[in-house]
Amino acid sequence: MQRGRDDPKMRAGARRRGAAVAGEGDSYGVLPRPCHALVLLNPQSGSGRALDDFQAVVQPMLAEADIATTVFVTERAHHAHEKVRDEDLSQWDTLVVMSGDGLLFEVVNGLMERPDWKEAMKKPLCILPGGSGNALAASINYYAGYDHVAKKKLLTNCTFILCKGLYTQMDLVSLSTASGKRFFSFLGFGWGFISDVDIDSEKYRWLGSARFTLGTLQCLAKLRVYHGRLSYLPISAEQGSSPAPRDAPAPVTNGHIPQPAGRKRPAPCPPTRCWPRWASPCRRTGPWSPRRSLSWSTPSTSPTWAPTC
């Protein structure tokens, strides 16, 4: 029995096999065959095996898929940024990044600095995991329907996705700093402690993903204080609709909540009914202090007993 493309069982089975099945609202493109790819590779990323893994795992698979490659090996920081910013990219059908998320960050920001950035950003980008942290590659691996894997298995899965040649759009995040710089990100932005862990652990790249654990311990040992200001825009009420009614707060005078009309203030609880010190938010002189009492509060729904000191 044959099933149509819209059959839910067929779609679920295709996801388990790793096939890209477009859902509602999804739009996919297909790389041409033969395909020419510019591979930007950082040989120092991760544990330093990116070039060896590319030659052993990636190149044979791309050759079988009729994808020709031009390999550009970076030699310094921002080398890939300058390459994609200044190079004529019309000779390649796709850009492939063989590294961690940091090199793809360079490539995205280099493309956005081009005068023809609108056209340049239409060039399909591919990430092949070769770094310490491969968050985007792992996300794509999950979205394609594969099980959670790492290292060479993740590299094989992502290379297979590239060989199939399907691509789709992805959102970017824009951030402008007080100094006037503007950055674009595809995962998120870090500030403070998280950024220090990432930057300070650069010298431990040979440890692979364990560099982040060591970097975290070092940053905790010399914990810094970060000063910042968070600004946000409040949610405005929609036109033609009034804001939801809010309960009026109970008036407070000299730290005491007034009693509701017609009710008497309850007597203080005996010492034997007071909470122990470790269970009470109040400050007392001993574990069973008689200074604790109960007072009447007036919320909008029903009266409750609230402890006070």
Q: Write down the residue that tokens 């940024």 correspond to.
A: 81
Q: How far apart are CA 26 and CA 11, in angstroms?
A: 14
Comparing CA positions, the residue from 162, 115, 122, 110 lying closest to residue 140 is: 162
Q: Which pair of structure tokens corresponds to residue 293? A: 């009492």
Whether cis (ω within 30° of 0) applies to the bond prior to 276 is no
Count the neighbouring beta carbons within 10 Å of the beta carbon of residue 183: 15
Tell me which residues are annotated as active site.
Answer: 101
Comparing CA positions, the residue from 69, 17, 62 lying closest to residue 165 is: 62
Q: Which pair of structure tokens corresponds to residue 275? A: 């909470």
Q: Write down the residue that tokens 């079988």 correspond to.
A: 64
Find out whether 215 and 204 touch, Cβ atoms under 8 Å.
yes
Cα–chain-centroid distance for residue 191? 13
Where residue 44 falls (left for φ over 0; alpha for ψ -120 to 50; beta otherwise) is alpha
